[in-house]
């Protein structure tokens, strides 16, 4: 059983893994360490690259996940597979300075400290080659996060993806982790029901070695979701808020198109209603793909087109429900806005139920 296991989440990091293993070997010389890569079935063959190393290097192994994505959830699953008393989390792209690892391990071994986080924002730390704007965004996000995070004293870099813990911390907090998004360190602090005893060590965040970053709008939304889950989420489930928000935007689009078609183009109510249903359906598809179902989104032209068509099919009965309810209300009251609104709400309930199972295949998750 190794003393220290480094969990390395990977997605399309084929050209980084061998260099990382070499650097770990150099930095951890004399220590009893192992590295567990957790790969989400990367199309570039990252898992094969790790397996090729594992064949002749018993310190290295790869855990493969199929049909799932996510940095934090990968780290959690990796930790579950380990038995080492000390666990580190580190990116595969060489941005995290591996020479800091022995210092982190020493700090934990001295006793008392449960977690050591590597920080870009304390004296001695930094970011190599970051433009001013990116520094500002990162600082602002850090400030906002610290508002939610009430740990005292404050973490200087709660968004860091580079840290080490005692295994007992994982055993205690692991079952409560949210697993949403990129911010696994933050997740530990937000999910522990008590202040964790931590230390910070400075490091310089290096430029990515090979490949591309996976941080995008979706991942940023996940940070907002993680923070929401641990604040307002205690009262109302965040998924419910998201569904309602997307639904509300869909109803807004529907009524907008309906209004323009009737008031602007003098279309008959039923024709305008069909047009509004089609536009709202299309915009809801794209919105749901990036917001509601961002944990299993459809990507690429072919998948999107197929998804859109299946979304139309899945929504067709909802559209009929929408149309029928609206026509009924319009017949009775002759108020286009009220009729359109009632129809859209009736259709939306049906649509969520069918598309979540059909278009995004949630049951496979």
Tokens of 251: 């109803």
DSSP string, 310-334: HHHHHHHHHHHHHHHHHHHHHHHH-
CB of 338 to ligand GDD, least distance (A): 44
Among 10, 42, 73, 95, binds Mn ion (CB under 5 A): 95
Strand pairing category for 126-127 and 204-205: parallel
- Residue carrying structure tokens 């979540």: 356
Range 32-61, binding ligand GDD (CB under 6 A): 38-40
Range 62-91, binding Mn ion (CB under 5 A): 91
Cβ proximity to ligand GDD, 89 vs 173, nearer residue: 89
Tokens of 127: 């970011």
DSSP string, 17-82: HHHHHHHHHHHTTTS-EEEEEEE---TT-HHHHHHHHHTT-TTEEEEE-SS---HHHHHHHHHHT-
Q: Is 142 in the site for ligand GDD (CB under 6 A)?
A: no
Distance (Å) of CA 231 to CA 58, 190, 236: 43, 9, 10
Q: Is 5 in the site for Mn ion (CB under 5 A)?
A: no
Cα-to-chain-centroid distance, residue 57: 32
Binding at 161: pick from ligand GDD, Mn ion, none (beta carbon under 5-8 Å per type): ligand GDD
Q: Is 16 in the site for Mn ion (CB under 5 A)?
A: no
DSSP class of 8: E
Q: Is 160 in the site for Mn ion (CB under 5 A)?
A: no
Cβ proximity to ligand GDD, 159 vs 291, nearer residue: 159
Torsion, CA 230, CA 233, CA 235, CA 240, rounded to 10: -170
Torsion 242-244-245-251 (CA) sign: positive
Among 77, 93, 97, 157, binds Mn ion (CB under 5 A): 93
Q: Is 159 in the site for ligand GDD (CB under 6 A)?
A: yes
Tokens of 269: 């109510």
Q: Is 213 in the site for ligand GDD (CB under 6 A)?
A: yes
Among 215, 217, 337, 349, binds ligand GDD (CB under 6 A): 215
Cβ proximity to ligand GDD, 215 vs 305, nearer residue: 215
Among 214, 290, 308, 341, binds ligand GDD (CB under 6 A): 214
Mask 193-212, x = binds ligand GDD (CB under 6 A)? Answer: ------------x-------
Among 33, 86, 170, 182, binds ligand GDD (CB under 6 A): 182
Residues at the site binding Mn ion, with contacts judged by CB under 5 A: 91, 93, 95, 208
Residues at the site binding ligand GDD, with contacts judged by CB under 6 A: 9-11, 13, 38-40, 69-71, 74, 91-93, 95, 159-161, 182-183, 205, 213-215
């Amino acid at each position: 059983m190794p003393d220290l296991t480094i969990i390395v989440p990977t997605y399309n990091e084929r050209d980084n893994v061998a260099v990382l293993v070499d650097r770990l070997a150099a930095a951890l010389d004399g220590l009893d360490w192992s590295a567990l890569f957790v790969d989400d079935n990367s199309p570039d063959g990252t898992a094969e690259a790790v397996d090729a190393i594992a064949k002749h290097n018993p310190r290295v192994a790869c855990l493969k996940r199929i049909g799932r994505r996510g940095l934090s959830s990968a780290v959690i699953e990796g930790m579950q597979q380990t038995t080492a008393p000390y666990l580190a989390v580190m990116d595969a792209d060489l941005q995290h300075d591996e020479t800091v690892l022995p210092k982190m391990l020493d700090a934990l071994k001295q006793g008392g400290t449960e977690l050591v986080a590597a920080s870009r924002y304390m004296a001695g730390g930094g970011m190599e080659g970051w433009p001013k704007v990116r520094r500002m965004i990162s600082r602002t996000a850090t400030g906002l996060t610290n508002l939610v995070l009430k740990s005292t004293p404050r973490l200087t870099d709660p968004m860091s993806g580079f840290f080490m813990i005692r295994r007992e911390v994982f055993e205690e907090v692991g079952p409560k982790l949210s697993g949403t998004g990129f911010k696994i360190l933050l997740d530990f602090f937000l999910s522990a029901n008590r202040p964790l005893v931590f230390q910070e060590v400075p490091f310089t965040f290096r430029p990515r070695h090979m490949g591309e970053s996976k941080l995008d709008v979706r991942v940023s939304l996940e940070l907002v979701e993680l923070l929401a889950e641990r604040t307002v989420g205690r009262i109302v489930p965040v998924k419910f808020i998201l569904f309602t928000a997307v639904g509300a935007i869909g109803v807004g689009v529907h009524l907008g198109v309906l209004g323009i078609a009737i008031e602007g183009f003098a279309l008959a109510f039923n024709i305008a209603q069909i047009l509004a249903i089609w536009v709202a359906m299309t915009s809801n598809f794209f919105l749901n793909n990036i917001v509601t179902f961002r944990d299993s989104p459809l990507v690429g032209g072919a998948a999107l087109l197929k998804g859109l068509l299946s979304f139309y099919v899945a929504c067709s009965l909802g559209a009929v429900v929408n149309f029928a309810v609206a026509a009924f209300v319009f017949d009775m009251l002759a108020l286009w806005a009220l009729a359109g609104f009632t129809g859209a709400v009736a259709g939306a309930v049906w649509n969520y139920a069918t598309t979540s199972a059909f278009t995004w295949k949630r049951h496979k998750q």
